[in-house]
Structure 1
Amino acid sequence: GHMGSEVTVSSGASAGGLPAEPIPAYTAPTMKAMGMSSRLWLALIVIGIFFGAFGLWAAFAPLQSGAIAYGQVTVAGNRKTVQHLEGGIVKDILVREGDTVEASQLLLRFDGTQAETQIRLLGGRLAAAMATRDRLMAEQNEADEITFQYDSSQPMRDRQSEYLDILLGQQEIFNARRSFLDSQSDLTQQRIAQLREEIKGLSAEVQAQERQLALIKEETDALEILLKKGFARKPRILELKRQAAVIAGEREKNLAAIARARQRIVEAELALGSTRTRFMNEVVMQLRETEEEIADLRDRIIAASDILERLQVRAPVSGRIVNSQVFTEGGVIAPGAPLMDIVPADELLIVEARIDPLDIDIVYPGLESEIRLSSYRTDEVQTIFGQVEDVSADSLIDPATGRSYYTARVVIDAGVSLPDDKRIYPGMPVELVIVAGHRTVLSYLFEPLSRRLGRAMRES
C-alpha cells in the first residue's frame, strides 16, 4: 500500500481449516516524528561536546587561589605632622589640601605683631644697655670722652634717631658724673692749698718767734753778767724773761696749728681718694650688672626672634598636603595643635590590608598580590601588583565592629605605570587578592564535595 496507510490482512480460515487469528497492524513512522528525533540527538551531541570540553577545561585550566582583603594605601614612613609650638592668629594661608610642596616651602604665616613688639622693646633696652656699658668703660678708664662701640647686631639700626637720643643721654650722664667728680677733686685741692698756705704762714711766725726768743736769750744773758758786776737791774731781766715766755707760748700754739693743718691735709687727701675709690667701685659694679643685662637681653631677643621665625611655618619634607586643619585667615590656633600632615613624596607606597582570620593560614610574607584601586574604574586603571612584606603576629579587634582581623603590609611594586592624569595617593581604598597558589577549576568545584566525603569517612 501507500506510505503512511495501514494494511490489514484477514482470512476466514487458515490453510488448515482452523479459525483465522487477527494479524497486528504495522504503523509506519511519520516525517514529523523522524524530524524531532534527529534534533534531539543533535542537541544531546552538542550538550555532550560542551560538557566534555568544559570538563577538559576544568580539569586542566589553572585557577589562582588566595585571600581577598581590603585596605588602604599608605607610606612606609609615617606622615609628617606640622605643628606650631606657640600657636596664635593665622595671617596667611599659602597652601591648600592636596597641594604638592617642597621641603622648607612656606606653608602659612602667623600674625607677628606681639613678637615684633617684644623684639622692638627688647631692642631698645639692649641698645641702652650697650651705650651704658660704653659709658661705664670710659669712666673706668678715666677717658676724656666715650667711645661708643658699633655692634653689627645693634638692634636699633632702623631707628637711628632714637638710638642717637640714647647715646646723647649717656654722654650727658658721663659729663655730669665727670663734672661732679672733678668738682669734688677741685674743692679738695683748694682746701689743701689753703691749709698749706696756713702752714706756711704759721711756719713763718714760728721762725720769727724763734728768732725773737734767741735775741731775748742773748740780751738776758748779757744783762745777767752785768747784774753780777752791779751794772744792771734785775727787773729788766725779769721783764725779758716774761716776754720770752709769752713768745714761747705763741710759738707752741703756732706749732700745734701747723700740726692740725697737716692732719686736715691728710684727711682731705684720704677723703678724695675714698671718693674716687667709691666711684670706681660703683663703676665696676654697674659695668658687671650691665654686662649681665646685655647677655640676658640678647638671649631674650634670640628667643623672641625664634618665635618670630617660627611664625613662618615651613614644610619639613617634600610631599603632599593632607588632613589640613587650617581653613580661615584670622583664625586662632591653640599651642601645639596639628596644622596639617605632609605625606612624603619619596616614601615607599604600601598597602595596609585587613586579612580575615579564616584566610590567615594561607597569607604569609613573600606572596604576590593583585591590587585594584577602588577610587578608579577598572577601565581607567588596570590592576597593579605588590608583594606581602609582613603579617601581624596576632589578630586585632576593630573597636567599631568588634570583628577580629590580621594586618598585612603589601609593598606596591616599583615602576607602576598609571595614566598621566591618575596617581596613587595615600589613603586610597584598595581591594586585594593575595595569591596563595594555583589549582584547577575542577578541584575548586569539587572541593566542597571532597570535604564532606572526607568528613563523612572520618565520622564513619
Structure 2
Amino acid sequence: MSDENGDDDREDRENGRQKPLLLTPDQPAPSPDPGKDSDEDEGRRKEGRRDEDRPETAADQAGPRQGSGYSLAGIGIGVGAQAQGAAPQQAKPPAPEPARVRDDQPRESRELVRTREAQTPAPPPPPSPPPPPRPIAAPDPGRWPVRGPLMVGLLAILILFGGFGLWAMESRIAGAVVAPGQVEVEQQRQVVQHPDGGVVEEIAVTDGQSVAAGDLLIRLDGSLVKTELTIVEGQYFEILARRGRLEAERAAAQEITFPRPLTEAAARDAGLDDLIAGQRSLFEARRDTQAQSLDQLAKQSQQVAQQVEGIDAQIAAMGQQRDLIGQELKDQQSLLDRGLAQASRVLGLQREAARIDGQIGELKASRAASETKQTEIDVERLRMTAQRREDAETQLRDLGYRELELAERRRSLTEQISRLDIRAPVAGLIYDLKVTTPRSVIRPAEPLMYIIPQDRPLVIGARIATINVDEVMIGQPVVLRFSSFSSRTTPEIDGRLGRISADALVDEGTRTPYYRAEVTIPPEELEKLGDMALIPGMPVEVFIQTGERSPMAYLLKPLADYFNRAFRES
C-alpha cells in the first residue's frame, strides 16, 4: 500500500498538479509566495519519506503524537484529546476549523480527510464584534469639591504630629530600674556550722524552736580531743618545768622561778607538784655538785698558793746564804791576793756560791710551775661555771622550739574542746535542722541548721542586672510593690537604697551575674501596711527611681547610642 501511495504522489508531482491541503489548527496557513511554497513542499516530501521508511513504534500504533505535523481529528481520533483539553467554562467553544490535506500525510489519511471534508458542513459565520464601551467622562471640579476635606485632613495631621511632638518634648516620664527582690532580715538568716566536725553527743533543740543568743544547740563528743590534750599538756608542763630549772642554772641562782602557766596549772592539778619537785631536786643536786667541784678546785688552788709561799721562803733563805758566802768569798779573795790565804779556801767558797745559785734557780722554776698550776685550777673553776651556763643555754634553745610547738597544739586542742558545745550566735527561730540523730557524724563546715533572727529590722534584698548598675547609687529613692498582697488594697511603699555590692555576684543555679542591693524601709512606711505582716522570703518588685526624662529623649536615646557606636574606625 505504501508503494502505491508513493507512485500516486510521484505521478501528481510529475504532472505538476497540487492537491488540496487540509491543515490542522496547529499548522500555519500556506504562504502566498510560490517559491517559498515549493521549498516547504519539498521539505514536507522529504519528511514524509522519512516517516514512511521509519518503523512503526508503539506510540504510532496507539495514536498520533501530540504536536506532530498532521492530525487525525478529521477521522474522529482526536475527540478524547479535545475533551481533556477543553476549558472548564460554560460558554460554547468555537467551531473547529476544517481539517486540511497535507502532502506529507499518507495516502489513506489524505483520502479519509477528503471524505471527512466532503461530509462536514460549512462552519457558521463568525459573530459580530461587541460594541465599544462608552467612555467615562472626567469629573467636574464644580460638582466634586476636594479642597476642603483635603485641607481639613492636612490640618488634622499637622495638629496630631505637632501636639505629639510638643508633648514628647515638654512632658516628663519618671524612669526606674526594675529589679526582683525579696524580704530579708537585716543580717539574713544565720547558718550554724562547725569548723572541725565530730560525733554528735546531744541535740538540745528542735526545728522551729525559739532560742536566745548563747543557748546550747548541739554538743559533740570530746573524749578523743580531751585525751590528746592531756598528753600534750603533760609534755608542755614538763618543758616549762625544765625551762625554769635551766633558767635558774643559767643565772646561777639559788632558787628556781617557774613560769606562770605552770604554777597556775599546778594550783589546779596536784599531779604537777611532783613534776615541780623533781626539777627542784635536780637543780639542787646539780648546784651542790658544782659547788663541791668548785670547792675542791679552790682547795687545790690554795695548796698551790701555799707551795708558792714555801718556795718563796726557800728562795729568800738561799739568797741570804748567797749573800753571806759572797761576802766571805770577797774577804778570802782579798787575803789570797796578799798571800795570806790558801787558794783552796777561795775555790771552796766559789763552789758553795755556785751551788746556792743553782738551788735558787730550781726554787724559782718550781715556783713558776706552782703558779702555772694555780692558774690552771682557776681556769678550771671558771670553765666549770661557764660550762654549766652554756649547757643551760643550749638546752633552753632546744626547748624553746619544742615549747612553741606544744603550746600551739595545746591552744588548738583547747579551742576544739571549747567548740564542742555549739551555741546560738543570735536570738531567733531554728530553721531547717539537719542533725536529728545522736552519735551521727558531721563534716567540717557542714551546715547544721539556720537561725532566723527575730530582733532585727527587715530589709529588701534586690538583684540588679549588670547592665543597669551604672544607673543606681546609694541613697536613691525606691518604690516597693509586694506581689504577695492584693494590688487593690496594698499601697506602694517608699524606701531608700542603702547598700550595693562592690562586685558582681553569680547565681549558682542560672549562672547569671547580678549586683546585690539592700533597700531599707522607714518605720512610718511599714505602718501603711496595717495588719499585713512582712515575712522573710516574700517576693517584692523593686523600682529604683532614676530621674525624669522626656518621651522624646526615650525615643532618641537608642538611636543616639547606635550612632555613638557606629562610624568608628576599626
Instruction: Tell me which interval the TM-score lies in, with the shorter structure as reference length.
Output: 0.5 to 0.7
Contact 1:369 1:387 in 2 (8 A): no
Alignment of 1:35-50 (within 5 A): none
Q: Which residue of 1 aligns with 2:369?
A: 260
Letter in 2 for 1:169: G
The 1:76–1:273 alpha-carbon spacing in structure 2 relative to 1, beyond 3 Å, is: closer
Q: Distance in 2 between matches of 1:260 and 1:77?
A: 90
Give secondary structure in 2 for the equivalent of 1:86.
Answer: coil
The offset of 1:145, in angstroms, is: 2.5
Matched, 1:202 2:311: yes
Give secondary structure in 2 for the equivalent of 1:108.
Answer: strand
The 1:367–1:208 alpha-carbon spacing in structure 2 relative to 1, beyond 3 Å, is: closer
Q: Which residue of 2 aligns with 1:356?
A: none
1:308-344 per-position Cα deviation (integer Å, ceiling 9, x unaligned): 1111111122221122111221111111111111122
Q: Which residue of 1 aligns with 2:12?
A: none
Give the TM-score taking structure 2 as reference length. 0.49
Q: Distance in 2 between matches of 1:277 and 1:73?
A: 76
Most deviating of 341-350 and 271-280: 341-350
Q: Which residue of 1 aligns with 2:335?
A: 226
Q: Which residue of 1 aligns with 2:53?
A: none
Give secondary structure in 2 for the equivalent of 1:313.
Answer: strand
Q: Distance in 2 between matches of 1:198 and 1:152?
A: 52
The 1:294–1:277 alpha-carbon spacing in structure 2 relative to 1, beyond 3 Å, is: same
Q: Which residue of 1 aligns with 2:435?
A: 326
The offset of 1:290, in angstroms, is: 4.9
The offset of 1:365, in angstroms, is: 5.2
The offset of 1:216, in angstroms, is: 2.1
Alignment of 1:173-212 (within 5 A): 173-212=282-321
1:376-427 per-position Cα deviation (integer Å, ceiling 9, x unaligned): xxxxxxx99685889xxxxxx9989xxxxxxxx9x99668759xxxx99767
Q: Name the Cα RMSD after superposition.
A: 4.2
Q: Distance in 2 between matches of 1:236 and 1:108?
A: 120
Q: Which residue of 2 aligns with 1:48?
A: none
Q: Distance in 2 between matches of 1:326 and 1:386?
A: 42
Q: Which residue of 1 aligns with 2:240?
A: 130
The offset of 1:171, in angstroms, is: 1.0
Give secondary structure in 1 for the equivalent of 2:416.
Answer: helix
Q: Which runs of no fewer than 5 residues in structure 2 stay unpaired?
A: 1-180, 462-477, 496-506, 511-518, 541-570
The 1:168–1:89 alpha-carbon spacing in structure 2 relative to 1, beyond 3 Å, is: same
Q: Which residue of 1 aligns with 2:425?
A: 316
Q: Which residue of 1 aligns with 2:378?
A: 269
Contact 2:243 2:399 in 1 (8 A): yes
Letter in 1 for 2:214: S
The offset of 1:148, in angstroms, is: 4.1
Q: Distance in 1 between matches of 2:431 and 2:490?
A: 25
Give secondary structure in 1 for the equivalent of 2:387.
Answer: helix
Give the TM-score taking structure 1 as reference length. 0.59
Q: Which residue of 2 aligns with 1:159?
A: 269
Q: Distance in 1 between matches of 2:450 and 2:291?
A: 70
Q: Distance in 2 between matches of 1:384 and 1:260?
A: 120
Contact 2:186 2:457 in 1 (8 A): yes
The offset of 1:256, in angstroms, is: 0.9
The offset of 1:199, in angstroms, is: 1.2
Matched, 1:116 2:226: yes
Q: Distance in 1 between matches of 2:205 and 2:255?
A: 57
The offset of 1:276, in angstroms, is: 1.7
Contact 1:369 1:388 in 2 (8 A): no
Letter in 1 for 2:353: A
Q: Distance in 2 between matches of 1:236 and 1:76?
A: 129
Matched, 1:84 2:185: no
- Within the candidate set 96, 108, 113, 2:206 is matched to 96
The 1:199–1:77 alpha-carbon spacing in structure 2 relative to 1, beyond 3 Å, is: closer
Alignment of 1:51-62 (within 5 A): none
Q: Distance in 2 between matches of 1:398 and 1:113?
A: 39
Identity of aligned residues (%): 29
Contact 2:249 2:388 in 1 (8 A): no
Matched, 1:139 2:225: no
Q: Distance in 2 between matches of 1:114 and 1:426?
A: 41
The offset of 1:201, in angstroms, is: 2.0
Q: Distance in 1 between matches of 2:304 and 2:186?
A: 96
The offset of 1:211, in angstroms, is: 2.1
Give secondary structure in 1 for the equivalent of 2:255.
Answer: coil
The 1:203–1:232 alpha-carbon spacing in structure 2 relative to 1, beyond 3 Å, is: same
Give secondary structure in 1 for the equivalent of 2:451.
Answer: strand
Q: Which residue of 1 aligns with 2:411?
A: 302
Give secondary structure in 1 for the equivalent of 2:359.
Answer: helix
Q: Distance in 2 between matches of 1:293 and 1:121?
A: 14
Letter in 2 for 1:258: R
Q: How many residues align?
A: 324
The 1:76–1:198 alpha-carbon spacing in structure 2 relative to 1, beyond 3 Å, is: closer
- The structure whose Rg is larger is 2
The 1:248–1:273 alpha-carbon spacing in structure 2 relative to 1, beyond 3 Å, is: same
Letter in 1 for 2:275: I
Q: Distance in 1 between matches of 2:327 and 2:482?
A: 144
Letter in 1 for 2:194: H
1:32-79 per-position Cα deviation (integer Å, ceiling 9, x unaligned): xxxxxxxxxxxxxxxxxxxxxxxxxxxxxxxxxxxxxxx998756532
The 1:323–1:384 alpha-carbon spacing in structure 2 relative to 1, beyond 3 Å, is: farther
Letter in 2 for 1:111: D
Q: Distance in 2 between matches of 1:91 and 1:102?
A: 21
Q: Which runs of no fewer than 5 residues in structure 1 stay unpaired?
A: 1-70, 353-363, 373-382, 391-396, 401-408, 433-460
Letter in 2 for 1:334: R
Q: Which residue of 2 aligns with 1:24?
A: none
- Within the candidate set 212, 216, 221, 1:106 is matched to 216
Matched, 1:249 2:358: yes
| More strand as a share of residues | 1
Letter in 2 for 1:95: V
Q: Distance in 2 between matches of 1:144 and 1:349?
A: 69
Letter in 1 for 2:326: K
Give secondary structure in 1 for the equivalent of 2:235.
Answer: helix
Q: Which residue of 1 aligns with 2:446?
A: 337
Q: Distance in 2 between matches of 1:337 and 1:196?
A: 82
Give secondary structure in 2 for the equivalent of 1:308.
Answer: helix
Q: Distance in 1 between matches of 2:200 and 2:307?
A: 82
Letter in 1 for 2:233: G
Q: Distance in 1 between matches of 2:491 and 2:213?
A: 29
The 1:274–1:350 alpha-carbon spacing in structure 2 relative to 1, beyond 3 Å, is: closer
The 1:349–1:245 alpha-carbon spacing in structure 2 relative to 1, beyond 3 Å, is: closer
Letter in 2 for 1:101: V
